[in-house]
Structure 1
């Protein structure tokens, strides 16, 4: 997808991080998306930054997180998805720094036991990773099964190690 096929965000800000550049979008009230650089690109690279107070605060909190000084985010977010995705993302939002959950446990929390594949799809579609900690989802044996953000599994490994979450 190129910038010309994407919706132009109201507000846009990029932040450097140990896992690559991050691109945040927002409306007047909340963060709408967070993209992690993958292959040297971000979705809206062709657009100029247009920060607002929400994005400036999100950038500050992300910097503190990467510096090890922040364990939870309190910047407002606006998640938009199917009812199933929303239930998964709301469950993810309850996980604290250093906590993890399996795909199966997440399905049970969402009222859909045995729906591991659908849970994985919803986790992968999370529009605001890191802030809504989808990296905290592992297989039941604590193996990493994938990650859609940034450079994939190496990005997830970095985030898990940063939070001292054991994994295989």
Structure 2
């Protein structure tokens, strides 16, 4: 399968978008991109339809004009990871949920750590909103883009829901 990529500049730094002919596969921070796709042959494409659509929707998100993404996505992972990522998509814009709440939502309240691991393997940052997951005590914990960016994203969302 051919994979295409482009980069985009955002208020939280550079993001790397990766898509096939059928779906968006990744929205990654630089360090993730280098770890996940470094050895893969990706084709740079500024004109790829899905990459352009993803960039446009992300730009709308950062302007506070989009709360829900409408993109074909491909999530590659285990069945458990896919359940977690599906649950992440149910967290409303501007809201947060704890790892325990996600574990309970997928029917496995004892799997809090496994939910955290699945969350860290999410390749569709922002689109599949892992930044909306917080610790049970309400603290900001773990985010591939860094805690400052997690706080920025949540602040942007809260500002646009007031």
TM-score range, shorter chain: 0.7 to 0.9
Task: Name the structure 2 match of 1:59.
Answer: 55
Matched, 1:30 2:23: yes
Partners of 1:101 and 1:135 in 2: how far apart? 10
Partners of 1:9 and 1:67 in 2: how far apart? 31
Shift of 1:18: 0.6
Contact 1:14/1:49 (8 A) holds in 2:
no
Matched, 1:11 2:7: no
Shift of 1:141: 2.2
Task: Name the structure 2 match of 1:102.
Answer: 98
Gaps of at least 5 residues in structure 1 are 1-7
Instruction: Classify 1:29/1:48 alpha carbon distance in 2 versus 1 (closer, same or farther; 3 Å).
Output: closer
- Structure 1 segments, 4+ long, off by >2 Å, are 41-49
Shift of 1:97: 0.9
Partners of 2:10 and 2:29 in 1: how far apart? 9
Instruction: Classify 1:47/1:83 alpha carbon distance in 2 versus 1 (closer, same or farther; 3 Å).
Output: closer
Gaps of at least 5 residues in structure 2 are none
Matched, 1:69 2:65: yes
Q: Of Structure 1 and Structure 2, which has the larger fraction of its residues in helix?
A: 2
Q: Deviations over 1:118-138 (max 9, x none)?
A: 110001110101000000001
| Secondary structure of residue in 1 paired with 2:153 | helix
Partners of 2:96 and 2:69 in 1: how far apart? 16
Task: Name the structure 2 match of 1:164.
Answer: 158
| Secondary structure of residue in 1 paired with 2:102 | helix
Shift of 1:60: 0.2
Matched, 1:85 2:78: no
Instruction: Give me the TM-score of the superposition, normalised by structure 2.
Output: 0.87
Contact 2:3/2:19 (8 A) holds in 1:
yes
Shift of 1:49: 2.3
Q: Of Structure 1 and Structure 2, which has the larger fraction of its residues in strand?
A: 2
Matched residue count:
154
